[in-house]
Amino acid sequence: MKLWNEISGKLRKAQQENVEKPEYLKVNAHIHTPYSFSSFDSIDSIIEAARKENISVLGINDFNTVDGFDEWAEKCYNAGIFPLFNIEMIGLGRIDMEAGRRVNDPNNPGRTYISGKALAYPLNISNEGLKILKHVKDLSNEHVHKMTLKVNGILGGINSKLVIDFDKMIDDQTRGMARERHLAGLIRKKIEDNYMSAKDRDEVFLTLLGSVYSDTEPGDNAKLENLIRSVLLKSGGPAFVEEDPEIFIDPEEIRDLILDAGGIPAYPFLADFEDGRYTDFEADRERAASSLIEQGFYSVEFIPARNDYHKLRDYVMFLYERGFIVTFGTEHNSPGIKPLEVKAGGGRELDEDLLRINYEGACIMAAHQYITANEGWGYLDEKGKPKTGEKLKFIKLGNEIIKTVCT
């Protein structure tokens, strides 16, 4: 409770002084950290980048884990950045899968990414919820372990020094949870560490990846790791291992887990992709919005960098006008350092409406976290229903809370 006690003291002081602040602060409500996989090597480096870009609100959004919450709370607060506490999980709707219906994964019917926004902090989740998180995390590690064994069969045939020690990878490269991207990164590093000559390295990479390797530029580690993942580890690759179906729990179970943790279930929209196409679920926005409400999702999020600006704006305004909380993020869930400031496809800056909507969403979540920690129920009531009649009150309180931290 130390975080909220200190914020409460600052909040009372700010309310008494009535200090004027800029209207909309910069928000990035969805970023992955090294506790799952991140383009940043540490939370410290994320904070440093956020301060340089004047980001005032940051949301940790790791896959299947809340292990980073304590470090996130301390380092964000000490840097004058308001922390949001989120999680991301992948569900599988069996009916959609059997019907071949894509939800927000363009390649896998039925697979559904779900975020839990503004979870209670300090963590307040049932033992059953903790068991589910541990089970999913263990299955994820086991999946990468099986791929590592296949990778070692391939690498060992080239040079025994390239063989990867999975346990050492867990200890050295992760915070306890391995993902495909960790393995792809370590494959690159192993080859580069064992072949000092550029010519020798190129021969090994050509052997592993084929002619597509010729398109990579020297030093472009991000592109090379993505290529390794695509050619070796994804479906059709020699080290591909099909994921255990148990790793994808039912979307309703994920929603209930998020509510159990005091959070707000949120649906991450893929929106337009590949020349303006949409998934089966998202193509009809009226039906998508109605379906989300029926399923108990009153919050949505976008990663605008992957969307056409006009299509993004059109979809966001539609959902906002129907009462959804809307937030934006950048993910940073793949190799390569990019800015933390949220922009649409092509690097187009967000207009005032989109900045306001994103900031209002962050304000509601900040107030939700604060009230949940102090009173028990925040923007959602005990049945998971939103207090829409109090939305402006939450925005006002969240704005005050955020700005007391960011002074």
pLDDT digit string (tens) for 113-139?
999 999 999 999 999 999 999 999 999
Phi/psi at 282 (nearest 5 deg)? -90, -10
State the architecture of 2-124+261-405 in CATH terms.
Alpha-Beta Barrel (3.20)
User: Is 90 exceeded by the pLDDT of residue 379?
Assistant: yes
pLDDT at 13: 67
Span 252-280, average pLDDT: 95
Strands 264-269 and 299-302 turn out to be parallel
User: Is 90 exceeded by the pLDDT of residue 5?
Assistant: no
Query: 12-16, 155-159, 318-322: which range is least confident on average?
Result: 12-16
Residues 6+ apart with CB under 8 A from 346: 309
pLDDT grade for 22, boundaries at 50, 70 and 90: very low
The domain spans of the chain are 2-124+261-405, 134-233
pTM for the model: 0.93
